[in-house]
Amino acid sequence: MLYVRLPVEVQSRYNLRISAARAQYEYAFVLRTQAEQTPDLLLRRRDALAVASTLLDLLPIEDRFLSFPHELDEEIDGDEVVASSTDITQEMIDAAMGDVIADELNMEVPKRTAVRKRMFILSAEKLCEEWVIANARVALLSTGKVPPTEPKEIVDSLIEIKNYDVAFDVCRHCDVSICDVLYAVTREAIMVDADPPEAPPAWVQLNQRRAEKRLRGHWAIVRGLLAAAQRIWPNDSRPLRAITRAFLSHNVPVPCWLDAEYTEKDVNGYLRCLIDYGAVKQGLKVAANCVEEETKKVTSIDSRVWLPISAINDLLDLGMKCKETAVSTTKLFHSFFVTTYQECQF
């Protein structure tokens, strides 16, 4: 008996969730169309979108959408009217005659209005994006200013108040680059190390959602955001470049953990970043390690290895223009590189 009733109960819960999600979204839409957008309206709209999004997440993946029927008045040509039905009506005859007369008199064919039914589909992803924007705008109410509506402007404003977790959400769902967020949070962490406060800064406590669990303090925030970015954009090395730029632009040595990750992910991009900031010594070290590791892979005449030759050449050229210590280091590396290349030729 229970087995027979289960599908009905499941369908009932399904319909209830769909209806509730639709009602919450319609309520949020009404709030958005109000002439005066007060903080209270923004809060209520954010909460309504959150409920609607949560209800859709409870449904099977293929059913996570809302549909809204919509009737649209359109001006269409006579041919489209005929094609919409197989029955010849007086309206079709009048339309056809109107076209003939207009053609004979070299007149423009008059347009006719018809009602077409459309279906507006709101996906769960789009609904989540609306919630993210609404949540970010609520977070900006603390500034006392009217929150912007464009995602890029919202991210910039969130960076100003050091709310990096919410800024990350906007970047993820609204196709905004995460690089500015990572650069800003790394810069703040560097500033904390340069002038340690007696108590942890407020922004550290504010941005604990993605903090690296095995670490503590402000660097847990930086590394947690970087790890999250790498999970979402695994083939993009720009997050690593953004954090590296923050160190180099403040004349702070690149830490070992970042050096290792960037070298493994994109050694060519890493060398280019070091060249851009004139970090010759660090670049020579990275290039030497790269050549050494690739040389170990050569086991026969058929072995193939990859080296960032163009970046290494530019690094050597830059090294020749630096101080005497850098020049001597460059010459040594150049000699080592030539020797290694000759050995690879067998």
Using DSSP, state whether 310 is helix, strand or coil. Answer: helix
Distance CA 346, CA 343 (A): 5
Neighbouring CB atoms inside 10 A of 293's CB total: 13
Of 340, 344, 346, which Cα lies nearest the Cα of 292?
A: 340
Q: Which residue has the higher pLDDT, 108 or 94?
A: 108
Confidence of residue 180 (pLDDT cuts 50, 70, 90): very high
Q: What is the mean pLDDT of residues 271-297?
A: 86
**Token pair of 305 as six digits:** 């290895």
How many helices and strands (H and E) does the chain possess?
Answer: 15, 2
Q: pLDDT for 124-142, tens place per residue?
A: 999 999 999 999 999 999 9
Distances (CA, A) of 316 to 126, 199, 309: 49, 45, 10
Segments of 77-209 assigned E as strands: 112-123
Distance CA 28, CA 68 (A): 14
Neighbouring CB atoms inside 10 A of 250's CB total: 12
Distance CA 18, CA 4 (A): 23
3-state secondary structure 12-23: HHHHHHHHHHHH
**DSSP type of residue 198:** S
- The per-residue b/e assignment along 137-153, b for 16 or more CB within 10 angstroms, e otherwise, is bbbbeeeeeebbeebee
Is the pLDDT assigned to residue 60 strictly greater than 60? yes
> What does the pLDDT read at residue 33?
85
Distance CA 333, CA 346 (A): 20
Say what angle helices 179-194 and 238-249 make with each other, to 10 degrees. 30
Distance CA 271, CA 315 (A): 8
Q: pLDDT for 318-330, tens place per residue?
A: 777 766 445 545 5
Q: pLDDT averaged over the chain?
A: 81
> What does the pLDDT read at residue 149?
92
0.95 exceeded by pTM: no
Q: What is the mean pLDDT of residues 154-170?
A: 97
- Tell me what percent of the residues of the chain surpass a pLDDT of 70: 76
**Token pair of 342 as six digits:** 């000759």
Of 110, 163, 160, which Cα lies nearest the Cα of 132?
A: 163
